A and B are shown apart, each in its own frame.
Chain A
Amino acid sequence: MKLYALLLSVTALFFSYSVFAAAAPADGEKLFNSNGCQSCHYTAGPAKEKTIADQLAKKGPELWYAGSKFQAPWLTAWLQDPQPIRPLAYNSLVDKNPGNHSKLAAADASQIAEFLMSLTSADVEAGVIKPKKNPKGRLIFNKKMPCGGCHQYPGRKGKIMGGMSGPSLLHAKQRLNPDWIYAYMLNPKTFKPIKMMPVFAGILSEKDMKSVSAYVANFD
């Protein structure tokens, strides 16, 4: 009898927990749509872009793997105070990023962040990349490959170095999931079949891609 009651309460606890956990992303999804986010960001994978024109028609980055790409605390904070990530306006090589992304109140931001963090990709293996300043990664990023030609990165004494056409990699340490960086390089077709960044898979070895991912994941 006692055992039965115990079982019942454990089951009840389990159900209330799972219902609660399932309800939150659903609320976040409603808020995502009611705030008009869907008009610029798609959230259902797989990647839809097949041509350059498809990519250029988009008004904002795809978010269908946001939960694998971002770190939750960064995402929640950014939605409340969105600072430019790309130096240039989306899909432009001319205009500066206007820095006018819609802002959310704290409560909405955390619910939407919870929804976005539930959107994950099976192609990101967890626990592979540890952020680390390493000489090999540095050599690839700055000398062997043109990464710094298109991406901003932290130089000495807080100086911002690098190119403009890619998203800034400053604060990658807070913003990006290290394992996603590696997965992004390893499976270019999965996440961004059409992009201005060259495909490095097949050019860099997996070991080199790991080193450079760990190096980028450490950018403050």
Chain B
Amino acid sequence: MFKSRFISILLVFFFSTSPSFAASDSTKQVFKFYCAQCHGDTGTGDGVNVTEDFATEPRNFTSGKEMSKLSDADIKNVIMDGGPSASKSALMPPWGKTLTDAQADELVAYLRELCNCKGAE
């Protein structure tokens, strides 16, 4: 009785966590490596580069209000081509020659998780 309950808890735990872990872990690592330096470890816009000289605050990805103004395509474009491509600050770098297309798509999905929001059409 005790044993089977333990196993079923284990099974539930395993199935609920492992597949998404495997998938989102590397995206998380990509985010932490390239984006966290400005956008912060948890995406709130307070990365280590944001000193008093930093002219424009990096987007806070946990703000549903701000992030829902952007469509998924807007987000992907600004990631690949940088701030100026969307009339935003040049402090947002162009990552198009650094990230693969698939990595950019995964980042868009990751940012949607952080804001817990949907994009504008």
Contacts and interface: CB of A to CB of B under 8 A. Distances in A.
10 contacts: A144-B90, A146-B90, A149-B38, A149-B54, A150-B38, A162-B51, A163-B37, A165-B38, A198-B93, A203-B97
A127 B87 CA distance: 38
Nearest to B50: A163
Contacts of A6: none
Interface of B: 29-30, 32-34, 36-38, 41, 47-49, 51, 53-54, 82, 84, 90-98
A143 interface: yes
Interface string A70-114: 000000000000000000100001100000000000000000000
Nearest to B33: A52
Interface in A110-151: 143-146, 148-150
Interface of A: 52-53, 55-56, 88, 93-94, 143-146, 148-150, 161-165, 188, 196, 198-203
A164 B36 CA distance: 12
A190 to B, nearest CB: 14
A149 B91 contact: yes
A165 B48 contact: yes
A143 B90 contact: yes
